[in-house]
Amino acid sequence: MLNKDLHLVDDLSKAEKAATRDGFGKGLLELGEKNKDVVGLCADLKESVRMNWFAEKYPERYIAVGVAEQNLAGVAAGLAFAGKIPFASSFSVFSPGRNWDQLRVSICYSKANVKLCSSHAGLTVGEDGATHQALEDIAITRVLPNLVVIVPSDALETKKATIAIAKYQGPVYMRFSREKTLVYTTEQTPFEIGKALVLKEGNDATVIACGIMVAEVLKAAEVLEKEGISVEVINNHTIKPIDVETIINSVKKTKAVVTAEEHQKTGGLRGAVLELLAEYDVMAVSGYVAVEDKFGESGTSVELLEKYGLTAADIVEEVKKVVKKK
Amino acid sequence: MQKKAAKKEMIKEASSEISIKKLELTANKIRQDIIKMLFAANSGHTAGPLGMVEIFTALYFKILKHDPKNPKLEDRDRLILSNGHICPVQYACMANSGYFPEKELLTLRKINTRLQGHPNRLDLPGLENSSGPLAQGSSIAAGIALAAKMDRKDYTVFCLMSDGEHQEGQIWEALMFAGNKKLNNFIGIIDRNNIQIDGYVEDIMSIEPLRQKLEAFNCNVYEMNGNDMKEVVVTLENVLKNRNKTTRPSIIIAKTVPGKGISFMENKYEWHGRPPKKEEAEAALKELQAEREIIINKR
Ligand SMILES: Cc1ncc(C[n+]2csc(CCOP(=O)(O)OP(=O)(O)O)c2C)c(N)n1
Ligand SMILES: [Mg+2]
């Protein structure tokens, strides 16, 4: 049974589809109206990251930096020092991929109030291929002190997160995706930075996911339920600071954990969760659904998710395997 | 004035009319292949590849020292594509010159293909570098050129770059390096088509005065109309001829028309990153076929 307090879409098969990048674009547009300090910067990918809506409505607060991601991060830091709330955008492979040093020192070390918001994360980028598929960005951002790292799970949540991070004072990295995916939350579903959501309660295993994998986990949970396996589903949208209490309590109960993310299997959500369990001496069997230390390739997003083992069916398999280990 | 007249003179005495006509026909075939590939892929970049057809054709079918049947030929010239997104033009030239079967072109961007959306050197023999993230090729080209110097090799490194790419710091780091290390075997070609994704380069983040910038980085600068086959061949031959008379890298600013050859695509930045739909592909191929007849009927 879905957690009633969260007002999720009851019937997933009836859920609409939208890209998380659209949620970012809408959130930013709304912020433009609400807060005059919000400025948008983009490195020649305005429409792809959906900053075009903000740019059209607030041209005086939109800054095109050209194809120059290092400068993007640095200029954003400068704007932040002078009191602006800069949203700086590109693709995840380039930002934080290319501008990691600027992110580390000009933004994180300096506590610049910059919101680095990047689209086209993960394999679902599709045909552009490996060079454009960020599968390492969670790892390289969550190691940075002072940085909040958010991976919202659907378009509506991304919109809420965009608005929330503008209120939060400090550096944030948020990653989102190109492909349309299920919108399983509603306007009433809460969002709070650092507060993971238990979407569904269960006893046999905890499945912790972020980003577009959360909806896949919900689908998997339905299948598993029918086979008599009861899973607790956690949407862990904030990778850092991670929600210690929610995760620890759940895994203490189920003693089995599976993570699901559109990222390399090391350094990302799985790493964050397992580090936490080790830190708190929580004993549990574990498994994961993630990319097996490989680069991606060209293909449709559906083909790639299948080939790299990131579907609901893969989650079902993994949960069964892990539960057997108990 | 004098310079212009001298250039014209050179063009006249250049490579025979016949070989230029042959290259133009090849270029026309390459354009048709690009349209077919992008339509089949249903994603990818159209404007950039079409604008660079003459230059890639001249390189693969006349200028480069290479052997499509032996892509690892030791002293081959190296073609480094820095703006990887225009790879359809490179793939089409590679297939048509015998690196791999032409029918494979239609696998572009499809799952399990060797023709990745952005080139992967590990997938396809004949690709020197993997690219996509702009500007990386410039430094790689400089590194290869330096290795050639260290090993006293005579091959040339052609580094293909775009204009939008010149907004990246790395390009200038690479050029500063190439100038400093006296890499006269480094020949850069800049696709100066004045478009990038978000609009015209001049509007988004001007890179002018480009020529003066390049000169200030200790490069010899040439300019050419990148869509005039004769001028392309003559300029490239001229740069190669001058190569050993200078210690500087050479950079050719190639003025090109993005979307060249297809009336409704030319000079429109909207065609940077979208493929033709069915009717558009058909119309494009029709225009190219008509153009082919014109080339054939040229004296
Ligand atoms: C480092 C990096 N940043 C951003 C991109 C996304 N991108 C791909 S092509 C492009 C436009 C660059 O302009 P140009 O190469 O001149 O484009 P064209 O003339 O081919 O349309 C951008 C921003 C990229 N590939 N690499
Ligand atoms: Mg350009």
Same domain, A126 and A248: no
Q: For residue A6, how far is the Cα from the chain centroid? A: 19
Q: Which of A116, A150, A182 is the last residue of a domain?
A: A182
Q: Per DSSP, which regions of B102-260 are E strands?
A: 157-162, 186-192, 220-225, 250-255
Q: Which residue owns the Cα nearest ligand 1 atom 16?
A: B164
Q: For residue A84, how far is the Cα from the chain centroid? A: 25
Q: A-B interface: how many C-beta pairs under 8 angstroms?
A: 87
pLDDT at A22 over 70: yes
Segments forming the whole domain that contains residue B269 = 2-297
pLDDT at B5 over 70: no
- Give pLDDT, residue B299: 72
ipTM value: 0.96
Same domain, A80 and A141: yes
Whether A44 and B109 lie within 8 Å, measured CB to CB: no
Mean pLDDT computed over every residue of chain A: 98
Q: How far is CA B282 from CA A215, B269, B276, B279, B288, in A?
A: 40, 21, 9, 5, 10
- Confirm if B75 and B155 have CB atoms less than 8 A apart: yes
Whether A44 and B198 lie within 8 Å, measured CB to CB: yes
Chain A residues in contact with B164 by the CB 8 A cut-off are 44, 66-67
pLDDT at A10 over 50: yes
Domains of chain A: total:
2
pLDDT digits (tens, 9 = 90+) for B59-89: 999 999 999 999 999 999 999 999 999 999 9
- Confirm if B198 and B205 have CB atoms less than 8 A apart: no
pLDDT at B14 over 60: no
Q: For residue A189, how far is the Cα from the chain centroid? A: 17
Q: Per DSSP, which regions of B92-243 are E strands?
A: 157-162, 186-192, 220-225
- Give pLDDT, residue A79: 98
Can you give the CATH number for the domain in which A240 is found? 3.40.50.920
- Per the listing, tokens 């690219």 go with B131
Residue scoring higher pLDDT (A169 or A1): A169
- Give pLDDT, residue B298: 87
pLDDT at B149 over 70: yes
Same domain, A90 and A160: yes
pLDDT digits (tens, 9 = 90+) for A176-198: 999 999 999 999 999 999 999 99
Q: For residue B262, how far is the Cα from the chain centroid? A: 18
pLDDT digits (tens, 9 = 90+) for A49-102: 999 999 999 999 999 999 999 999 999 999 999 999 999 999 999 999 999 999
Same domain, A206 and A149: no
* Residues across chain B: 299
The residue to mutate among B45, B134, B206, having the most atoms of ligand 1 within 8 angstroms of its beta carbon, is: B134
Can you give the CATH number for the domain in which A121 is found? 3.40.50.970
Same domain, A257 and A286: yes
The band of B1, judged by pLDDT with boundaries at 50, 70 and 90, is: very low
> A122: closest CA among A319, A290, A238?
A290
Same domain, A284 and A242: yes
- Top residue of B108, B116, B122, B131 to mutate, by most chain A CBs within 10 Å, is B116
pLDDT digits (tens, 9 = 90+) for B187-241: 999 999 999 999 999 999 999 999 999 999 999 999 999 999 999 999 999 999 9
- What is the three-class DSSP state of B214? helix
Mean pLDDT of B130-151: 98
Mean pLDDT of A259-273: 98
Same domain, A147 and A231: no
Same domain, A214 and A295: yes
Determine contact: B139 vs chain A, CB below 8 A: no
- Top residue of B112, B198, B210, B269 to mutate, by most chain A CBs within 10 Å, is B198
State in Å, rounded, how far the first CA of chain B is from the last one.
Answer: 30
pLDDT digits (tens, 9 = 90+) for B26-72: 999 999 999 999 999 999 999 999 999 999 999 999 999 999 999 99
Q: Which of A157, A182, A207 is the last residue of a domain?
A: A182
Q: What is the 8-class DSSP label of residue B105?
A: G
> A179: closest CA among A238, A135, A133, A221?
A133
pLDDT at B243 over 80: yes
B118 CA to middle of ligand 1, Å?
A: 12
Chain A residues in contact with B169 by the CB 8 A cut-off are 68, 70-71
Determine contact: B83 vs chain A, CB below 8 A: no
Whether B197 and A127 lie within 8 Å, measured CB to CB: no
Q: Determine what percent of chain A is predicted with pLDDT higher than 70.
A: 100
Same domain, A110 and A248: no
Same domain, A132 and A44: yes
Domains of chain B: total:
1
Same domain, A120 and A217: no
User: Which 3-state string (H, E, C) describes chain A?
Assistant: CECHHHCCCCCHHHCCEEEHHHHHHHHHHHHHHHCCCEEEEECCCCCCCCCHHHHHHCHHHEEECCCCHHHHHHHHHHHHHCCCEEEEEEECCCCCCCCHHHHHHHHHHCCCCCEEEEECECHHHCCCCHHHCECCHHHHHHCCCCCEEECCCCHHHHHHHHHHHHHCCCCEEEECCCCEEECCCCCCCCCCCCCCEEEECCCCEEEEECCCHHHHHHHHHHHHHHCCCCEEEEECCEEECCCHHHHHHHHHHHCEEEEEEEEECCCCHHHHHHHHHHHCCCCCEEEEEEECCCCCCCCCHHHHHHHCCCCHHHHHHHHHHHHHHC
Q: Determine what percent of chain B is predicted with pLDDT higher than 90.
A: 93
Pairwise CA distance, residues A102 & B172, whole Å: 18
- Give pLDDT, residue B11: 52
- Give pLDDT, residue B6: 58
Same domain, A113 and A196: no
Q: What is the 8-class DSSP label of residue B80?
A: E
Segments forming the whole domain that contains residue A151 = 16-182
Pairwise CA distance, residues B161 & B138, whole Å: 7
Burial of B242 (C-beta count, 10 Å sphere; 0-12/13-18/19+): middle
Active site residue A306: no
Contacts 24+ apart (CB under 8 A), A193-196: A193/A148, A193/A150, A193/A161, A193/A164, A193/A165, A193/A168, A193/A238, A194/A148, A194/A238, A194/A241, A194/A242, A194/A243, A195/A238, A195/A243, A195/A246, A196/A234, A196/A235, A196/A236, A196/A237, A196/A238, A196/A242, A196/A243, A196/A246, A196/A247
Could you say which of A67, A297, A304 has the minimum Cβ distance to residue B116?
Answer: A297
Q: Which of A128, A149, A182 is the last residue of a domain?
A: A182
pTM of the entire predicted model: 0.96
Pairwise CA distance, residues B168 & A9, whole Å: 44
Can you give the CATH number for the domain in which B125 is found? 3.40.50.970
- Give pLDDT, residue A1: 81
* CA-based nearest distance B93→chain A, Å: 20
- Per the listing, tokens 């025979």 go with B16
